Structure 1
């Protein structure tokens, strides 16, 4: 594959006018039934995203192309399944590889709508699940809503890293930037790798290990943030270089969600709903995670008294590290992801955690984008929340495993939380746009 990939990227480098089409086609094929299993789309996506980030396409253009192509790939796959139904097994490729559709079919039958959200981030399932949804006659409006949500998260997760890498290579960045990036990325990779490996092996003390390593990384950030100046300055330069009015509005809407008063109301609503529905242990886990994270964030922020970046036209007066938006959003979404994964296979639990991290990362990165926090601020907030969440889960499960919540509880919790998120995202949006202008 190496020479072929080199020839493709080499041709696109010489002919950048075709790069937008390449991003669209690769994203479309990656999400297209059967074809997405054959073509190495993930590698190609990263490669074309790197080229896009080198100056050929803006971030908003790259993400929009990937999003539209992903939705189109899902839609075509859905109608293929809707048209052929069970005869789909006779199609070329599936006739000789029945296991390709068997796994997606079993997954869809077991998890329903959730499979379309979670399976989007599981390589072999991603291109097959929309086709299976059509094969089982899922109503198209319901499928379309889920596809739009899943495609938005998938686009950011799969295209943003490559685009950012290309942009970083192009810009003149501070000396020592790349070694510090390696140190930070390596630490996070170690945390994620330990979490996945311990979970797959079903280690009895997995949550204790995760909490311990998170605490070590958090301590390193608190002690060494002054020595990661090149990392902070480089990423801040990279992000501020690519601001646009459209992304400004999206970032402000996201940062609205993470405001302390909003997160307090949403967290309180979740805890009260668990209390009303008599989910005692779930309430203790969620309440302790959210409360301890908030208290720890406030205490450490005042302890280290780090000043904020000088980007905002109207600078914030509070201290910077760790980011309250980051710690609050990660605490909430990791809590929901842990609760959603109770009683499910390891791969499903890990995928729920990945899904939970996507909105939290979006809120956290909006703070860096708007210039309200340094990158290490939001990283410290995320690791703080992960540490508290893992420790709280370990304490909650020290005698008995936390059971899954009844479906009827989820049907109460999710609509309430989604309504609150929607309200807070739009409330005072014009005022917030003025506040975070630069």
Structure 2
């Protein structure tokens, strides 16, 4: 139902280009208007339009010119408002409640002058108010319009191109596997949400944290339990050890009590949500993403985290930053205590152990806790030494280490969602408490943050490369989904057992993408030998050189790589191509080992598909080799390869296709 709606929507857009042009123009205009631009998520809408261009549903130049025109008109209206109302703008919402918006734009305009109109369009904090401020400060129409037009011409592609890259990536990924396209979308959303949360939370706490802490400290004084804790953490004249020790005990005890309460209530871990998400990610598994996720998960392994922690501690001691070194040890000590305590008190089976019928330790995720403690408190040490306006960048960099590690381990099925969230929350709360105590006490002198950052980055890169070079293949094998083999007798398969084998390539959520028209019972080397003798060739590899050829608008089909395709989470095991008389087309033959064996000789049964590919230029920027689903392979295309073998043509699930059975 959803796919039918999307198809109908795109068909309507294609049939009504005028309406789409109007929507693009109004969106860009609204995003550029003062006050309105604060509400309209213009950047996200432009990014989405770029994605539709990359997917081939919209034409680039139409979107580009209408969005640029809308931006020009919107900024011109905002400029006119500033010239007409001048200082009266300050008495209009939201500027009455947030006068710093106008003040910040005025400072930006004074610093950059006419160039500020060009730069301001790309600078988020002043994006919607720079044209209005330019009008308030009596900038000439001629000067403003020159800057306005230049900035709009540059602004439109700056927002469209990232979306186009994502759309093209999704288009390519969907041809490999729909699950890969879904996973890419999930990763983009996770990273975007992480960026949004970090930016807004950091700015929120920077604006209000001092007031909140002061009010909390005043409220807590005189209270028997909370007062000494807050004084220990917030009062520079008192030591922080008492407060930190109490917070640590409360954190660990709270998690234990919560888990025991759930167990007493009959709500065992893992929960239904844990298991549902686990199965969802297992359905998304595909070889390309597996390699990326294993590499990402290895960033949180002890082979990387432990050397990084020791180097940071050694650097702090060497630079005589004793207070920072002490707090660093407290961060690591809390992680170790968490690991040991919960391993003993709260044994919860990990997803892998559940699938094997074993009981092990998984709650909370030690990887999530340790990565949050190490990267989070390292960010606290560095951010304390740089200006307030740039601290969110440091915290975002730490989040871009922590969140992908946690996500990768969820994807690989190493931890449950509950374990991961518990580990992240524990780490974040302890980092916040440590950072608060560290920043409020005068003994914490300045740190040479550039040296600390440089040493940390170098150690992280070196240890990760070493870890990957030694352990990547073993980890890929360890995290690989288990495959179960089925057995059939030869005559059973020949008679009707072939019907139990997959007859269509299965993608995400069971979507059928392509018919399997071949079933071969025999060794791979014999299959490949026969096909080569019949004129088939190894497919061009999807290496860097071949992928770069996609960027050429003029390229021969023989040069373009053949992308792998995924069936039920596994890539094709054998891919061959056949070139006929037409240089603009080629036949592609793919075979999968589906885990079915003949009892006689334990020979594998392979399923295969045949498709014709042709050149398809897109947006005059890329050239892809795409499958033509309407073309059927001629009967004599593969017949020479099966000479002398036992063959049988049967009618499959698709009434328009026939399946050829070949026995070696």
Q: TM-score range by the shorter chain?
A: 0.5 to 0.7
| In the alignment, structure 1 residue 199 sits paired with structure 2 residue 206 | yes
How many angstroms apart in 2 are the aligned matches of 1:394 and 1:418?
Answer: 29
| In the alignment, structure 1 residue 160 sits paired with structure 2 residue 186 | yes
**Residue equivalent to 1:73:** none
SS at match of 1:352: helix
Does the 8 Å CA contact 1:293/1:384 hold for their aligned counterparts? no
| In the alignment, structure 1 residue 253 sits paired with structure 2 residue 295 | yes
**Residue equivalent to 2:462:** 419
Match of 1:379 among 421, 425, 430: 421
Aligned pairs for 1:19-418 within 5 A: 40-43=42-45, 45=47, 97-98=117-118, 100=120, 159-160=185-186, 197-203=204-210, 215=251, 222=259, 224=262, 226=268, 229-310=271-352, 318-400=360-442, 403-418=446-461
Structure 2 unaligned segments of length 5 or more: list them: 15-23, 33-37, 56-108, 127-150, 155-181, 214-229, 235-243, 482-664
Does the 8 Å CA contact 2:308/2:456 hold for their aligned counterparts? no
How many angstroms apart in 2 are the aligned matches of 1:300 and 1:311?
Answer: 17
Query: 1:413–1:261: structure 2 CA closer, same or farther, 3 Å change rule?
Result: closer
Does the 8 Å CA contact 1:337/1:356 hold for their aligned counterparts? yes
The structure richer in strand per residue is 2
1:260 Cα deviation from its structure 2 partner? 2.9
Does the 8 Å CA contact 2:353/2:360 hold for their aligned counterparts? no
1:334 Cα deviation from its structure 2 partner? 0.7
Does the 8 Å CA contact 1:270/1:417 hold for their aligned counterparts? no
Structure 1 unaligned segments of length 5 or more: list them: 1-6, 17-25, 52-56, 58-88, 107-127, 132-155, 165-184
| 1:370-403 Cα deviation digits (max 9, x unpaired) | 1111011111111111122112222323422663
**Residue equivalent to 1:110:** none
SS at match of 1:201: helix
Does the 8 Å CA contact 2:294/2:475 hold for their aligned counterparts? yes
Query: 1:101–1:282: structure 2 CA closer, same or farther, 3 Å change rule?
Result: farther
More relative contact order in 1 or in 2 (CA 8 Å, sep 6+)? 1
The structure richer in helix per residue is 1
1:243 Cα deviation from its structure 2 partner? 0.6
How many equivalent pairs are there?
A: 306
| 1:378-429 Cα deviation digits (max 9, x unpaired) | 1111111112211222232342266343434433333223222222233211
1:436 Cα deviation from its structure 2 partner? 1.1
Q: After alignment, is 363-372 or 302-311 more displaced?
A: 302-311
The Cα RMSD (Å) is 5.0
1:204 Cα deviation from its structure 2 partner? 6.2
| 1:147-186 Cα deviation digits (max 9, x unpaired) | xxxxxxxxx999536768xxxxxxxxxxxxxxxxxxxx9x
**Residue equivalent to 1:432:** 475
1:198 Cα deviation from its structure 2 partner? 3.0
Q: After alignment, is 262-271 or 38-47 more displaced?
A: 38-47
Larger radius of gyration: 2
Does the 8 Å CA contact 1:279/1:405 hold for their aligned counterparts? no
SS at match of 2:425: helix
TM, length-normalised to structure 2 = 0.38
